[in-house]
Chain A
Amino acid sequence: MRDTSSSPSAHPITAHWKKFLVLGLMGLGVCWFFAFQGMLEHNYRPLLSVLVGGLFWVSVLIGLLMLTMITRVFDAGWAPVIRRSWELVLPALPLVLLLSVVPMALLPKFRHLLWDWTDASHLLPNGHEVGHDPILQAKSWFLNESFFLGRIFGYVIILGGLVWALRKWSFAQDTDRTAGHTHRLHAVSAVGIPLGAVTLTMLAFDCLMALSYHWFSTMYGVWFFSLSIRLALAFTVIITYRLSHGGWLDGIFNQAHRHVLGCLMLAFTVFWAYISFSQYFLIYTANIPEETYWYNIREFDSITGLKNQWWSVSMYLIFGFFLLPFLILLFYRTKIIAGRLLSVAWLIFFGGLVDLWFNAVPRQIADKSGPEGFIVAPFLTPHLFLDLAALLGFGGIVIAVFLRGATRHETIPVHDPRILESINYHE
Chain B
Amino acid sequence: MNERNERIHGVACTFRRPSDVFHAAERVRDAGWKCWDVHTPFPIHGMDQAMGLPRSPIPRLTLLGGVTGFLTGCLLTWYMNSYDYPLIVGGKPYWSVIFPFPILYECTILFAAFGTFFGQFIFNRLPHHHHPLFDLPQFSRVSDDTFMIVLEARDTNFHLDESRNFLLSLGGQEITVIRD
B90–A281 touching, CB < 8 Å: no
Considering the complex, which residues of chain A in the window 259-287 have a beta carbon less than 8 Å from any beta carbon of chain B?
277, 280-281, 284-285, 287
CA distance A284 to B93 in the complex (A): 12
B79 in contact (CB, < 8 A): no
Contacts of B45 in A (CB 8 A): 426
Residue in B59, B91, B98, B102 whose CB lies within 8 Å of A332: B59
What per-residue 1/0 map shows which CB atoms of B22-57 lie under 8 Å from chain A?
000000000000000000000001100000000100
CB proximity of A35 to chain B, nearest CB, Å: 38
B99 at the interface (CB under 8 A from A): yes
Q: A384 at interface (Cβ–Cβ under 8 A)?
A: no
Chain B, residues 54-73, CB within 8 Å of chain A (1/0): the string is 01000100010000000000
Q: Which A residues are in CB contact (< 8 Å) with B101?
A: 277, 281
Chain A's interface size range is: under 10
Inter-subunit contact A285/B63 (CB<8 Å): no
Docked CA distance A332–B63 (Å): 13
Which residues of B are found within 8 Å of A287, using beta-carbon distances?
A: 90-91
Shortest A158–chain B CB gap in Å is: 36
Is A330 positioned at the interface, with any CB of B under 8 Å from its CB?
yes
B interface list, Cβ under 8 A from A: 45-46, 55, 59, 63, 90-92, 98-99, 101-102
A285 and B99: CB pair below 8 A?
yes
Cβ contacts A to B, 16 pairs, < 8 Å: A277-B101, A280-B98, A281-B98, A281-B101, A281-B102, A284-B92, A284-B98, A284-B99, A285-B90, A285-B99, A287-B91, A330-B63, A332-B55, A332-B59, A426-B45, A426-B46
Assuming A284-B98, A285-B90, what are 15 further A-B pairs, CB within 8 angstroms? A277-B101, A280-B98, A281-B98, A281-B101, A281-B102, A284-B92, A284-B99, A285-B99, A287-B90, A287-B91, A330-B63, A332-B55, A332-B59, A426-B45, A426-B46
Q: Bound state CA distance, A260 and B173, in angstroms? A: 38
Q: How far is the CB of A54 from chain B (nearest CB, A)?
A: 33
B contact residues around A277 at 8 Å (CB): 101
User: Given the complex, which residues of A lie within 8 Å of B59, measured CB to CB?
Assistant: 332
For the complex, give the distance between the alpha carbons of A280 and B96 in Å.
Answer: 14
Within 8 A of B (CB), among A282-297: 284-285, 287
Docked Cα-Cα span, A83 to B45, in Å, equals 24
Q: Give Cα distance in the complex from A285 to B102, angstroms.
A: 12
